C-alpha cells in the first residue's frame, strides 16, 4: 500500500482508512488458540496411547492363555478368536493414529490432506469402536456361558484370563469411543468452518 504522501504527490486523494484485503494469504492464529490446539492434539494423543495399551494388553492376554495338556485353547471358540482379532486390529490402528498425532503435534500439519485426515479419523474410529464393542460383547456372552459349565471348574485359569482379556478390550473400547467423540468434533468444525479446529 502506498503512503499518503506518495498519493498526494501523484494527485490522488488519500483514503482516511487503509485498504483491507479481502483474502489474506496467511491465516492468523492467536497464541491462545495455538495453545488450545496443542492441548487438544495432546489430549487426542493420550486417548490414542491408552486405547493402544488396553487393546494390545487384551490381545496378549488372549493369545498367551494358559496352555495345559487338557486345557481348552482360545482358538477353539469363535467368540474368543473374534476378541483377539478385533483387539489386534484396533492395536494396529491405534499405533498408526498415534504416529499421525505425533506428526501433527510436532509439525502443525496433518499426515494426510486435512479433509482426508478428518474423515479418515472419524470413520475409522466409529468402525473400530463398534467392532471392538461387538467382539467384547460376544466374548462376554461366551465367558458367561462357560462359567455355567464344567469348563471353568476344571480350567479356572483359562476362564479368568479370558475375562481379563475381555475387560481390557472393553476399556480399549471406552478410550477409542472418547477419541471418536473428539474426531467427530473435528469433522463438525471442518464442515462449519472449513478447518478442523475452531477454538
Domain coordinates of the chain in residue numbers? 53-193
CB 178 within 8 A of CB 186: no
109 neighbors 97 (Cβ within 8 angstroms): no
Instruction: Indicate the length of the chain as a whole number.
Output: 199
pLDDT band, residue 4 (cuts 50/70/90): low
pLDDT, position 25: 45
Mean model confidence pLDDT for the chain? 82
pLDDT greater than 50 at residue 90: yes
Q: What is the pTM of this model?
A: 0.76
Q: pLDDT (tens digit, 9 = 90+) per residue, 154-179?
A: 788 888 888 999 999 999 999 999 99
In angstroms, how far is the first alpha carbon of the chain from the final one? 32
**Burial degree of 128 (CB within 10 A; 0-12, 13-18, 19+):** buried
Q: What's the rounded Cα separation, in Å, for the pair 175 and 47? A: 6
Helices vs. strands in the chain: H and E counts, helices first: 6, 0
Amino acid at each position: 500500500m502506498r503512503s499518503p504522501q506518495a498519493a498526494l504527490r501523484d494527485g490522488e486523494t488519500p483514503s482516511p482508512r487503509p485498504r483491507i484485503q479481502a483474502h489474506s494469504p496467511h491465516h492468523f492464529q492467536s497464541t491462545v488458540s495455538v495453545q488450545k490446539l496443542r492441548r487438544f492434539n495432546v489430549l487426542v494423543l493420550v486417548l490414542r496411547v491408552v486405547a493402544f495399551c488396553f487393546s494390545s494388553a487384551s490381545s496378549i492376554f488372549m493369545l498367551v492363555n494358559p496352555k495345559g495338556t487338557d486345557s481348552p485353547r482360545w482358538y477353539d471358540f469363535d467368540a474368543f478368536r473374534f476378541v483377539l482379532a478385533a483387539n489386534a486390529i484396533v492395536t494396529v490402528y491405534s499405533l498408526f493414529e498415534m504416529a499421525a498425532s505425533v506428526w501433527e503435534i510436532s509439525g502443525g500439519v496433518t499426515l494426510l490432506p486435512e479433509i482426508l485426515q478428518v474423515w479418515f479419523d472419524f470413520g475409522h474410529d466409529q468402525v473400530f469402536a463398534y467392532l471392538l464393542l461387538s467382539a467384547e460383547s460376544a466374548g462376554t456372552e461366551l465367558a458367561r456361558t462357560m462359567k455355567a459349565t464344567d469348563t471353568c471348574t476344571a480350567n479356572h485359569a483359562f476362564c479368568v484370563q479370558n475375562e481379563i482379556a475381555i475387560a481390557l478390550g472393553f476399556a480399549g473400547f471406552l478410550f477409542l469411543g472418547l477419541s471418536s467423540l473428539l474426531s467427530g468434533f473435528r469433522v463438525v468444525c471442518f464442515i462449519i468452518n472449513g478447518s478442523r479446529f475452531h477454538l
